[in-house]
Amino acid sequence: MDAAGKERLYDKYMTRVYISTTNLQESSALRLLLLNLKMEIVGESSDWFTTVVQIPHSQVELLLVDWSVLPINSPNTALSELRKACPSALVVILISHLDSQKQAALSIDADMLIRKDETPKRMAERLQAIAEGIPA
């Protein structure tokens, strides 16, 4: 079943993705992109607390986390929390074009950083590449 509780009509094995972003338009665009990549969205949230509470129960394989969702004072600690809650999940941090955020994000031990201003095609290629590393 998918996140909406409907029967899955696509591939038997799909990458299970959790989206955490504060921007509704970005979330909607990510949903479309992921569905086009035949990935299953198993949950979404717009704040840090909800993300940390929901991900252990979602059997997630790939976490897409917007930089703005991470606690500003301790992004490294936040990433450690994610890794403890979901140790086998790959973590992709979505960053804006702002230099200060990019520099801060680079200090985080994420599996991949994706700029939000990348083209949808480029973002899809990068997400597909990281998903191919998830064992079936």
Domain range annotation of the chain: 16-131
Residue-wise pLDDT for 20-72, tens only, equals: 999 999 999 999 999 999 999 999 999 999 998 999 888 899 999 998 888 87
Is residue 62 within 8 A of residue 92, CB to CB? The reply is yes
Task: Name residues whose C-beta falls within 8 Å of residue 3's C-beta, 6 or more positions apart in sequence.
Answer: 40, 41, 42, 43, 44
> In this structure, how many other beta carbons lie within 10 angstroms of the beta carbon of residue 58?
18
Fold classification of 16-131 is Rossmann fold (3.40.50)
pLDDT digits (tens, 9 = 90+) for 94-136: 887 665 555 565 666 788 888 888 899 999 999 999 888 776 5
Residue 33, phi then psi, degrees to nearest 5: -60, -45
